[in-house]
Amino acid sequence: MPFCSNCGEEVSNSTKFCPKCGNAMNAENEPASNPQNNTSGINCPKCGSLIPFGNTVCLKCGTPLNQENNTAAIIIGYVGTIVGTLLFLFLGIIIGIISAVYLITRPSKSAKIHGVIIIIILVIIILIWFSYMSYVNSMRSYYYY
């Protein structure tokens, strides 16, 4: 059996991608027929081929199987930014920046979109806060008369 040139994992002759790291295998590692008849595993959501349990990518098309679910980070980002800002401005800004940077660096496109939305919310909150503070400071001069 050949080994992956990227991570050293032992792979079967019929795989096009390493089951551990997803590295594309060379063409000489592919035989004409599949000697394995493995019936235990799951079907690939993209190509439908059978993937043996324990693999992290589809052996035929290279689709990652374990897509990250960033639901907790998204909820913490939105709620922490808005509620944190209402309680203490800088707490909300810090929570928002940390969660936005985390979400933007994820491979999922939807997580990146939520990260950008959190940054937009932060900018709007900061603009409202500065507008309010300038209004309060301008009103202080009227109290002296």
And the tokens for 121?
A: 């919310």
pLDDT in tens, 41-97: 788 878 888 888 777 788 788 877 766 778 899 999 999 999 988 888 889 999 999
pLDDT of residue 35: 41
Handedness of CA 43, 49, 53, 57 (dihedral sign): negative
- Reported as a pLDDT band with limits 50, 70 and 90, residue 5 is confident
pLDDT of residue 67: 64
User: What is the DSSP code (8-state) at residue 3?
Assistant: B
pLDDT of residue 144: 60
End-to-end CA distance of the chain: 90
Reading phi first (left if > 0) and then psi (alpha if -120 to 50, else beta), residue 54 is in left
**DSSP per-residue letters across 5-65:** TTT--B--TT-SB-TTT-PBPPGGG--SS-------SEE-TTT--EE-TT-SB-TTT--BS
Q: How far is CA 25 from CA 3, 12, 59, 69, 133, in A?
A: 9, 10, 10, 28, 60
Break the chain into its structural domains and give their ranges: 1-65, 71-144
DSSP element (H, E) containing 80: helix 71-87
pLDDT in tens, 94-123: 999 999 999 999 888 889 999 999 999 999
User: What is the DSSP code (8-state) at residue 133?
Assistant: H
Question: What residues does 17 pair with on adjacent strands?
Answer: 24
Model-wide pTM > 0.75: no
pLDDT of residue 60: 83
pLDDT of residue 36: 46
| C-alpha R_g of the chain | 26
